[in-house]
Every structure is written in C-alpha cells, then in structure tokens.
C-alpha cells in the first residue's frame, strides 16, 4: 500500500483544459512516481457553466483515481482550493491551476524537497512572467503586504505548492471564512522551501483574475493579515494637526506684523477638499474591516458543495468552513493511506 500523492485542481470554466492537465499529471505519475505513490486527482469545480462539469464527470467515470467536488455556484479560487485541501487524502498535496500554466514536471523536485523534510514547498515563477502590468501590480502588492503584516509571502508564489498532510490538517482547523491561503500557509509556520518554474501561457479559455478581482483578493489579504491600515487615521490626523498648528503660528505672526489675513480663499478650499478626502479614505479603510467582521460573524460557509464524485473516505469533514448539501460519513485520517487503506 503506497502513500497517496494528491493533486488539487480548481476549475472554473476550463472545459478544454481539464483533460489535458489530467493527462499531464497521469503521464508524470506513471513515468516518475508510480512505484512510490498512488495517485489522486481531485477536481474542484467552482460553478463552471461552460461544460467543464460534464467533462470532469466523464473523466471521473473512466478512472478511479479521479475524484471531483462540484460547488453549487461560483465561490472563488480560494474557496475551491480550501475545499480541495479539505477533501484530499494524500500524504502530500499539490495544488495547482488547471489551465496548464503550471508545469507538472516541477512536482518531481517538489516531492524531493518534501522528502528531505520540508512541510511546504512553494513553486515560484521566475521573472519571465507574462504581462508587465500584472507583474508590476503583483510585486507592489507583495511589497505592501510584507511591509504591513507580520507574515511574509514569497513574491511570485500564486497557489502552486506542495504541502504535507500535517500542514493541510492544521489549515483545515483554522476557523476563518475569508481565506487568503497564500498568507495562511506561511502564517501556520512549518518548514518551507521553494523551487522555481517558468509560467506557461494559458492553454485555452479566459484568465479569471482581472484587475478588480485581484484587487478584491488583495484587500481580503491585507485586512486578514494586518491592522496597520486602521492606524492610518492616527498618523494622518496627527500629521494634519501638526500642519494646522504650524499654519496658526504663521498667521498669528503675520497678523502681529500687520499683514493681511483675508487672502487665501483658494488654499482654504483646497485644504477642505483635501481633508474631506482623507477622512473619507480613512472611513473606507475602517469600512473594509467592518465588512470583514460582518462576513465572518455571519458564519456562512466558505463554499457549498452540491455533489462529490468518488467520495468514499472523504478526509476531513466538519461543519466549518464549507458544507455539503448531502450528508457524508465522517471519517478522519491523519496520514492518508494509514487509516483509509481500502478507499484508495
């Protein structure tokens, strides 16, 4: 009985990619890993509407190492990965995109590193990443994130990584709903290392992370990992008080010296507009945190599952943060392969 190597593949409208990525993984497994690991490929369909569901269904029918989770609607990439981590049974779990951008071949090196004792192996894309604007924004984001939070994320990390069972179990225990997995994994600790790869172009279909979606993820990330922006109001307020005290001193001296005081209408208006703008920005920052509190206190699950294919022995099922419409038997296994031998 070999340990299981799991691949978690979030899918949102990737009809023409799912079969290709599965073939690439299967070839990799049979050529390089078959004597050491059993394979599990776990598709998490995030509410696709382009026929991906049917393709995944037929792939799962044809091979018993393919499993699939179908969400009731689109819940987002992070939710899909969370679900994958929750259902995966492997001793090591590789999460990667299903659009062929992430080369499977690099997983061999990732496994070597894991077997050397690292619990987390990040796959980091080298600087030749396509799209200047996107890579500039992403670099700026990681700068700001690492500056404002105590958790450090490796730039270029995306969601391509191998984690050990230990890490997944710890991640599954975290209670929060708004998840930024890229930050949660370094936050958990554990020993980590990285391997680098060259990002391939998307094989087909549309990229799902436009500017605004990425910005949304960035805001989730910052508000979950840092409260420094909340303190911005203190800094701004103090700064403006200093400026106004200085200006008051200046005008008093000017008045004593017999200067005119009625001038300065333009600067007055400019100052009012500026301070109003700043106050609104500070409100907006606070509102982001307030919104996060609202979202978290509602305690709605991160995703809703409408169907699981090949669910016998689903790994960690508990009520948070996702739930299923159907009941599934509860079965927990610490190291896959040890407690659920018959299901593999």
Window 81-120: residues binding Mg ion (CB under 5 A): 97, 99, 101
Three-class HEC string of the chain: CCCEEEEEEEECCCCCCHHHHHHHHHHHHHHHHCCCCEEEEEEEECCCCCCHHHHHHHHHHHCCCEEEEEECCCCCHHHHHHHHHHHCCCCEEEECCCCCCCCHHHHHHHHHHHHHCCCEEEEEECCCCCCHHHHHHHHHHHHHHHHHCCCCCCCCCCCCEEEEHHHHHHHHHCCCCCCCHHHHHHHHCCCEEEEEECCCCCCCCCCCCCHHHHHHHHHHHHHHHCCHHHHHHHHHHHHHHHHHHHHHHHHHHHHHCCCCCCCCHHHHHHHHHHHHHHHHHHHHHHHHHHHHHHHHHHCCCCEEEEEEECCCCCCCCCCCCEEECCCCCCCCCCCCCCCCHHHC
220 binds Mg ion (CB under 5 A): no
Q: Which is nearer to ligand UDP, 19 or 335 (CB)?
A: 19
Smallest gap from residue 111 Cβ to ligand UDP (A): 21
Smallest gap from residue 207 Cβ to Mg ion (A): 6
Q: Which does 209 bind (CB under 5 to 8 A by kind): Mg ion, ligand UDP, none?
A: ligand UDP
Smallest gap from residue 170 Cβ to ligand UDP (A): 23
Smallest gap from residue 298 Cβ to ligand UDP (A): 21
Give me the residues that bind ligand UDP (CB under 6 A), please: 10-12, 14, 46, 74, 76-77, 80, 97-99, 101, 207-209
Q: Which does 10 bind (CB under 5 to 8 A by kind): ligand UDP, Mg ion, none?
A: ligand UDP
13 binds Mg ion (CB under 5 A): no
- The size of the interface with Mg ion (CB under 5 A), counted in residues, is 3
Q: Which does 46 bind (CB under 5 to 8 A by kind): Mg ion, ligand UDP, none?
A: ligand UDP
Smallest gap from residue 208 Cβ to ligand UDP (A): 3
Smallest gap from residue 60 Cβ to ligand UDP (A): 17
46 binds Mg ion (CB under 5 A): no
Q: Which residues bind Mg ion (CB under 5 A)?
A: 97, 99, 101
């Amino acid at each position: 009985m070999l340990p299981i190597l799991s691949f978690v593949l979030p899918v949102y409208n990737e009809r023409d990619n799912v079969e290709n990525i599965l073939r690439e993984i299967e070839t990799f497994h049979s050529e390089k890993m078959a004597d050491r690991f059993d394979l599990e490929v776990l598709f998490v369909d995030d509410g696709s509407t382009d026929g991906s569901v049917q393709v995944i269904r037929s792939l799962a029918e044809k091979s018993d190492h393919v499993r699939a989770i179908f969400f009731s609607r689109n819940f987002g990439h992070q939710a899909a990965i969370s679900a994958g981590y929750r259902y995966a049974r492997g001793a090591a779990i590789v999460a990667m995109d299903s659009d062929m951008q992430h080369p499977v071949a690099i997983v061999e090196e990732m496994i070597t590193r894991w077997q050397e004792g690292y619990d987390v192996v990040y796959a980091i894309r080298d600087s030749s990443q396509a799209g200047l604007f996107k890579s500039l924004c992403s670099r700026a984001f990681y700068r700001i994130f690492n500056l404002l939070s105590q958790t450090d994320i490796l730039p270029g990390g995306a969601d391509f990584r191998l984690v050990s069972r230990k890490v997944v179990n710890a991640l599954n225990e975290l209670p929060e709903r708004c998840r930024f997995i890229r930050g949660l994994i370094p936050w958990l600790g554990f020993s980590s290392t990285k391997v680098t790869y060259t990002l391939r172009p998307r094989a087909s279909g549309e990229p799902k992370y436009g500017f605004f979606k990425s910005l949304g993820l960035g805001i989730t990330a910052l508000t979950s990992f840092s409260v420094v922006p909340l303190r911005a109001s203190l800094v701004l307020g103090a700064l403006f008080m200093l400026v106004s005290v200085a200006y008051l001193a200046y005008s008093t001296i000017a008045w004593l010296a017999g200067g005119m005081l009625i001038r300065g209408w333009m600067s007055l208006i400019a100052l009012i507009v500026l301070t109003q703008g700043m106050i609104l920005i500070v409100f907006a920052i606070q509102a982001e945190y307030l919104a996060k509190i609202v979202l978290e206190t509602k305690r709605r699950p991160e995703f809703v599952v409408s169907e699981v294919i090949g669910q016998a022995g689903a790994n960690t099922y508990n009520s948070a943060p996702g739930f299923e419409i159907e009941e599934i038997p509860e079965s927990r296994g610490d190291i896959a392969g040890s407690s659920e031998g018959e299901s593999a």
